[in-house]
A = this chain, B = another copy of it.
Amino acid sequence: MSGSLVIAGLGPGAEALVTPQVTAALARATDIVGYIPYVARVAPRDGLTLHASDNRVELDRSRHALEMAAAGRHVVVVSSGDPGVFAMAAAVFEAVESGPPAWRDLQIEVLPGITAMLAAAARVGAPLGHDFCAINLSDNLKPWALIEKRLRLAAEADFAMAFYNPRSKARPDGFARVLEILNEACADTRPMIFARAVSTPEEAIRIVSLPEARPEMADMRTIVLLGNSTTRLITRDGAPIVYTPRSVPMDAAPE
- Which residues of A come within 8 Å of B, CB atoms? 11, 14-21, 24, 58, 82-86, 89-94, 96-97, 104-105, 108, 110-115, 118-119, 121-123, 125-136, 141-143, 145-146, 148-150, 153-154, 156-159, 232, 234, 236-237, 241, 243-248, 250-254
Contact = CB atoms under 8 A, between A and B. Distances in A.
B93 A253 contact: no
A93 B241 contact: yes
Given A16-B20, A252-B143, A126 B90 contact: yes
Contact of A157 (B122, B126, B154, B158): B154
B244 A112 contact: no
A84 B136 contact: no
A254 B121 CA distance: 31
A244 B104 CA distance: 17
Contacts of A247: 141-142
B126 A110 contact: yes
**Total copies of the chain:** 2
A111 B16 CA distance: 10
A170 B254 CA distance: 24
A121 B20 contact: no
A58 to B, nearest CB: 8
A211 to B, nearest CB: 23
A251 B20 CA distance: 43
Contact of A234 (B93, B135, B232, B244): B93
Contacts of A85: 118, 128-129
Contact of A89 (B126, B145, B146): B126
Contacts of A21: 14, 16-17
